[in-house]
Amino acid sequence: MVIIRKILAEGLRRARVANIPQRRIVVDPGIGFFRDERQPWDQWDAAVLVGLASLRSLGRPVCLGVSRKSFIGAILDAPDTADRLAGSLAATAIAVVNGAAVIRTHDVAETRDVVRVAERLRRGVPR
């Protein structure tokens, strides 16, 4: 996560220099990108998801897209993206619990329900 945090912090610095209003910026750790070549990509992406909370210190909302990603296929041994819905929903729930504020997805209705539950449990308070 150190590499990703450094890349994102540099992007935020460039945005400040370019006078982009901070309120218009979200950060995305780029699941599937920025990988340290010494670590298998599915382990890298899983570690990014687990360490997502460390990006909160950047002070911007975190955007994440895990829907049907290859790392889910590797974990589930599901080469066909059509077989990755459950894994995508599980990864989305983990992302929300770990601080993701914006979720990109292929399966909007199912993901909306998962996000609602994950947000409620993250807050730990009844509605």
3-class secondary-structure state, position 32: coil
E strands in 47-94: 62-65
User: Which residue in the list 60, 68, 69, 84 is annotated as catalytic?
Assistant: 69
User: Which residue in the list 104, 112, 120, 122 is annotated as catalytic?
Assistant: 104
Please indicate whether residue 69 is annotated as part of the active site: yes
Single out the residue of 21, 27, 22 nearest to residue 8, CA to CA.
27
> In whole angstroms, what is the distance from residue 47 CA to residue 29 CA?
11
Please indicate whether residue 6 is annotated as part of the active site: no
The residues annotated as belonging to the active site are 69, 104
